[in-house]
Amino acid sequence: MADADPAATLGDVIRRQRELSRLSMRQFAQMAGISNPYLSQIERGLRAPSQRVVDAIARSLETSADALYEQAGINIEDEAEAEEAPGVRAAIEGDRALTPRQRRALLEVYDAFVATAERRRGTQ
């Protein structure tokens, strides 16, 4: 499976999870805050979603982005190391005293705080 396109594999996982949740593409796109055509492209492996979009999709599926990547066979730790993570995210991700679930929860809270701060800065 090493030859598989990661975007196509992730799209397959997202489509299966959406179908298991018995959601139409239109309903799910609305829940995730993305357009129906964009979701279609993601599910067919034509577009690779950003981390922000994967996070929104995961929240809509009531799972984590890590779980989606894992089901798709994508090792996100290797990809995360390739990119420079901000200090707080890197500290949380690197803290092995926390369980993976605890790390995900902290990252979700941190991301929510950062998004709120960004929205506030945008309205001032």
What does the DSSP assignment read for 9-42? HHHHHHHHHHHHTT--HHHHHHHHTS-HHHHHHH
The arithmetic mean of pLDDT across residues 39-44, rounded, is 94
- The pLDDT of residue 7 is 65
Contacts of 64 (CB under 8 A, 6+ apart): 58, 104
pLDDT in tens, 16-30: 999 999 999 999 999
pTM metric for this prediction:
0.59
Q: Among residues 106, 84, 83, 86, which one has the least CA distance to residue 95? A: 106
Q: Is 27 exposed, middle or buried (0-12, 13-18, 19+ CB in 10 A)?
A: middle
Better-predicted residue by pLDDT, 89 or 56: 56
Instruction: Sort residue 86 into left (φ over 0), alpha (ψ -120 to 50) or beta.
Output: beta
Which letter does DSSP use for residue 44 in this model?
Answer: T
Q: Is 32 exposed, middle or buried (0-12, 13-18, 19+ CB in 10 A)?
A: buried
- The pLDDT of residue 123 is 58
Chain position carrying tokens 């929510």 = 112
